[in-house]
Structure 1
Amino acid sequence: MQAEIADTPQKRAAGLMYRDHLKKDHGMMFFFDQAQEWTFWMKNTLIPLDLIWMDEKKRVIHIERNVPICTRTDDSCPQYRPNDGAMYVLEIAAGTVDGLKIEKGTKLQFANP
């Protein structure tokens, strides 16, 4: 899997907004300086996604599958977050989590930037 890196506040704020396509083997990885219950939403995101939160050991702690786009024009889109602190979040095309059999507790491997 290839992932774009979102490691600055500007890149994290933009995320995958306004994109109309995401290949099944691509995504965006969000890197944070500290573990928190990072909240994500789908405002201005044009494609459904799977969201994966991981702890500092890169172990999956929470998954949101097939998160739909939000067509609202105000700031009232649903928000998604884990119950525990995460250091990393991976956004990938909806359905990819099930296809790769990723589940809570799975340890993912990737290099930090």
Structure 2
Amino acid sequence: MADLKGQWGKARFSIELADDPSERAQGLMNRPVLPAGAGMLFVYEHPQPVSFWMKNTLIPLDMIFFDRSGRVTRVHENAIPGDLTPIDGGPDVLAVLEINGGLARKIGITPGSLLRHPALGKAAEWSCDAP
């Protein structure tokens, strides 16, 4: 499970973890459906520039980029299935959450929202007073 929160409220996703190079390379390619409330969390060994594309991806996805503290830095909405155009996540990305296209906007996930997941470590723990 991965939890997100922000001024909009809270959301929980049942996620698959992609935390090694082969899992990150495969991602959600060749899947005809992503269940509602599901996603894939890509986690890197250290913050770095990342870029994604939609080669062999069959469904539109939202890509949510996080820094080392679990804070959303960018949201790319409705990535186009099969598109080879690179989607830049920016510098210092530690994790990326892919969810069904359009869901980030529907929920209200924006830059500044927070992610909590054990793979991000203590730097991404939520304090009691955080939104």
Give TM-score, length-normalised by structure 1.
0.90
Aligned to 2:80: 68
Q: Of the candidates 53, 78, 85, which is equivalent to residue 85 of structure 2?
A: 78
AA at the equivalent of 1:80: I
Q: Of the candidates 32, 43, 47, which is equivalent to residue 59 of structure 2?
A: 47
Residue correspondences, number = 108
The separation in 1 between residues aligned to 2:112 and 2:70, in whole angstroms, is: 9
SS in 2 for 1:83: strand
Whichever structure has more strand as a proportion of its residues is: 2
Aligned to 1:74: none
The separation in 2 between residues aligned to 1:78 and 1:87, in whole angstroms, is: 21
The separation in 1 between residues aligned to 2:51 and 2:86, in whole angstroms, is: 6
- Is 1:98 matched up with 2:110? no
SS in 2 for 1:108: strand
The separation in 1 between residues aligned to 2:90 and 2:119, in whole angstroms, is: 24
Unaligned runs of 5+ in 2: 1-12, 121-131
The separation in 1 between residues aligned to 2:47 and 2:115, in whole angstroms, is: 17
The separation in 2 between residues aligned to 1:24 and 1:37, in whole angstroms, is: 29
The separation in 2 between residues aligned to 1:99 and 1:110, in whole angstroms, is: 22
The answer to whether the 8 Å contact 1:48/1:69 transfers is yes
1:55-96 deviation per Cα after TM superposition (whole angstroms, max 9, x unaligned)? 00000001100111126xxxxx10101232100000110011
SS in 2 for 1:38: strand
Following superposition, which runs of at least 4 residues in structure 1 exceed 6 angstroms of deviation?
none
Root-mean-square deviation (Å): 1.3
Q: Percent identity, aligned pairs only?
A: 36
AA at the equivalent of 1:11: E
The answer to whether the 8 Å contact 1:28/1:90 transfers is yes
- Is 1:17 matched up with 2:29? yes
The separation in 2 between residues aligned to 1:87 and 1:65, in whole angstroms, is: 19
Unaligned runs of 5+ in 1: 72-76
AA at the equivalent of 1:3: I
Give TM-score, length-normalised by structure 2.
0.78
